[in-house]
């Protein structure tokens, strides 16, 4: 008879531990379900309104808290993973995601659905930090190109299939089936975690970061609540202005305190220089513009063209082709000096997609939005993921999780605040076609702003394009890029 110690050792043997394929599965199962439903929501909204007996404001509030949970969850996990074994945190978050998904699936009212979606978002944000960094850092330089492509396809590929998933779920109570399927995917994630999650078990005695976590919670929740409130009372109401203004100020306070702190939770001081700053600007503006333009496309197809949800979702599935092309380029560029150029190119292509949307007319809506989908898919895959890695490679590899948490907090704030505002401005116009034009112009302006801010930071650094030293980054935990201070070339002039 086995002793208790031997039994425990037997249980600790994980047959899939150390497998690259298992690590890929862990990351995709952790992140993809929430990403899919976040872009499917617009197409299942009529069914949610009827099933939950709620209003558009109720659905927007639910989406706001789910997205706020995602943004805050990444920061919370960056703190908790310093004291909790990564495997335990991963499994706990997947279990929470299952619970949130099932609560959403079987909810009979808005409150239950809201709590379920908020739990989904919080769990996914935490899983970003628990599951993604191990995939990037534990399999050597040779696997990094494949990992880059997997992350691009897993994150933005799932974003692009969301409309089609939503369309297939847009009938009667089919949306409940969707959430049950999401719970099933998370169960697979639990199984993979039990069989194959390895490494990251070291913990420290660092205490709870009271200077970051509560402030990050307010910075994530308040602006999203304000944007949701605008659906009900408009952009001039105190319910919109006060939470958004206070939330943005709290976010700036968080960044200031993290920059000044010696042992900060998020390595802001480490990445407050040329390449990561450029990457964060590109990630924020490209993500915001893509989200807004996709929503404008869907609204036009559904409301102006009166297309069925299936037609609208299928039309925008062309984004997948763009993401595949971007992932291929990303995999080739990550070991070269061209990664920043790819990120800037992605932002430019997103702006091009917005410009093409200006030519939208009823007679060419289908093929034009399909073409716009290709550009937006490419722009998201070529802009946001490379920009995310520009920041990650500029910090030590053992600080990748907190770096991703910081960038995702900022990117989420931009994407999920700008897009709903742009959509509401479009819907307030007398004619929806004019509203789409106004929304597209705003989105183009966001891309131009990103270029106007990001390119000078890059060009005034004085640094020549160079390939990242990935071996140094992985083996010695040193930054892969030589990235000078912002505007280093003109500081002494």
For 121-145, the pLDDT digits (tens) are 999 999 999 999 999 999 999 999 9
Instruction: Average the pLDDT over 162-168 and give the result.
Output: 87
pLDDT for position 2? 40
pLDDT for position 207? 63
pLDDT for position 5? 40
Contact predicate 383/415, CB 8 Å: no
How many CB atoms within 10 Å of residue 64? 26
- Among residues 367, 319, 325, 366, the alpha carbon closest in space to that of 342 is found at 325
**Backbone phi, psi, residue 146, to 5°:** -65, -40
Is the model's pLDDT at 489 over the cut of 90? Answer: no
State the helix-helix crossing angle for 56-80 and 400-427, rounded to 10 degrees.
170
Gyration radius of the chain's alpha carbons: 22
Contact predicate 299/432, CB 8 Å: yes
What is the spatial distance between Cα 319 and Cα 382, in angstroms, rounded to a whole number?
12
State the helix-helix crossing angle for 110-137 and 400-427, rounded to 10 degrees.
140
Per-residue pLDDT reduced to its tens digit, 38-78: 888 888 999 999 999 999 899 999 999 999 999 999 999 99
pLDDT for position 235? 85
pLDDT for position 7? 38
Joined together, the tokens standing for residue 241 give: 């202005």
Instruction: Average the pLDDT over 321-331 and give the result.
Output: 93
- List alpha helices for 81-173, DSSP H: 86-105, 110-137, 144-152, 158-168
Instruction: Average the pLDDT over 156-166 and give the result.
Output: 82
Query: How many Cα atoms within 13 Å fall on the side-chain side of residue 281?
Result: 22
pLDDT for position 52? 93
Is the model's pLDDT at 6 over the cut of 50? Answer: no
What is the spatial distance between Cα 348 and Cα 373, in angstroms, rounded to a whole number?
15
Is the model's pLDDT at 463 over the cut of 80? Answer: no
Return the higher-pLDDT residue of 5 and 455: 455
Torsion sign across C-alpha atoms 303, 43, 319, 410: positive
Per-residue pLDDT reduced to its tens digit, 242-298: 999 999 999 999 999 888 887 788 888 888 888 899 999 999 999 999 999 999 999
Over pLDDT 70: what percentage of the chain? 94
What lies within 8 Å, CB to CB, of 39 at 6+ separation is 159, 160, 162, 163, 166, 294
What is the spatial distance between Cα 117 and Cα 163, in angstroms, rounded to a whole number?
18
Band of residue 9 on the pLDDT scale cut at 50, 70, 90: very low
Angle made by CA atoms 127, 125, 293, in degrees to the nearest 5: 125
pLDDT for position 222? 94
What is the spatial distance between Cα 36 and Cα 25, in angstroms, rounded to a whole number?
16
pLDDT for position 484? 78
């Amino acid at each position: 008879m086995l002793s208790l110690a031997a039994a425990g050792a037997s249980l600790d043997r994980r047959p899939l531990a150390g497998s690259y394929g298992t690590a890929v599965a862990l990351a995709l199962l952790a992140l993809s379900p929430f990403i899919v439903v976040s872009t499917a929501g617009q197409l299942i909204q009529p069914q949610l309104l009827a099933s939950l007996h709620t209003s558009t404001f109720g659905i927007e509030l639910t989406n706001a808290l789910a997205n706020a949970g995602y943004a805050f969850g990444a920061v919370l996990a960056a703190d908790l993973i310093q004291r909790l074994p990564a495997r335990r945190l991963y499994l706990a978050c997947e279990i929470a995601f299952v619970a949130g998904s099932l609560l959403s699936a079987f909810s009979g009212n808005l409150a239950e659905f809201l709590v379920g979606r908020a739990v989904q978002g919080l769990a996914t944000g935490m899983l970003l930090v628990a599951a993604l960094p191990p995939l990037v850092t534990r399999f050597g330089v040779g696997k990094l190109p494949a990992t880059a492509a997997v992350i691009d396809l897993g994150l933005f590929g799932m974003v692009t299939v969301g409309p089609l998933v939503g369309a297939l779920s847009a009938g009667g109570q089919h949306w409940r089936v969707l959430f049950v399927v999401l719970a099933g995917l998370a169960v697979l994630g639990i199984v993979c975690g039990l069989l194959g999650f390895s490494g990251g078990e070291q913990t420290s005695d660092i205490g709870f970061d009271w200077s970051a976590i509560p402030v990050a919670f307010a910075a994530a929740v308040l602006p999203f609540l304000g944007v949701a409130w605008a659906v009900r009372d408009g952009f001039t109401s105190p319910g919109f202005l006060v939470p958004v203004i206070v939330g943005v100020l709290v976010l700036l306070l968080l960044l200031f305190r993290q920059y000044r702190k010696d042992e900060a939770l998020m390595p802001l001081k480490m990445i407050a220089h040329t390449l990561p700053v450029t990457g964060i600007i590109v990630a924020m503006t490209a993500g915001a513009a893509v989200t807004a333009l996709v929503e404008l496309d869907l609204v036009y197809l559904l409301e102006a063209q009166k297309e069925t949800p299936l037609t609208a979702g299928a039309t925008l599935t062309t984004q997948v082709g763009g993401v595949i092309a971007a992932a291929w380029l990303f995999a080739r560029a990550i070991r070269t000096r061209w990664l920043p150029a790819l990120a800037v190119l992605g932002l430019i292509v997103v702006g091009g997609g917005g410009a093409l949307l200006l030519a939208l007319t009823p007679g060419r809506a289908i093929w034009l939005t399909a073409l716009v989908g290709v550009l937006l898919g490419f722009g998201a895959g070529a802009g946001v993921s490379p920009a995310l890695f520009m920041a990650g490679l500029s910090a030590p590899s053992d600080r990748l999780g907190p770096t991703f948490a910081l960038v995702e907090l900022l990117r989420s704030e931009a994407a999920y605040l700008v897009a709903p505002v742009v959509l509401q401005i479009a819907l307030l116009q007398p004619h929806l076609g004019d509203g789409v034009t106004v929304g597209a112009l705003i989105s183009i302006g966001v891309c131009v702003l990103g270029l106007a801010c990001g390119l000078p930071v890059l060009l005034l650094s004085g640094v020549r394009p160079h390939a990242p030293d990935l071996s140094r980054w992985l083996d010695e935990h040193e930054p892969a890029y030589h990235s000078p201070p912002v505007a280093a070339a003109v500081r002494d002039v």
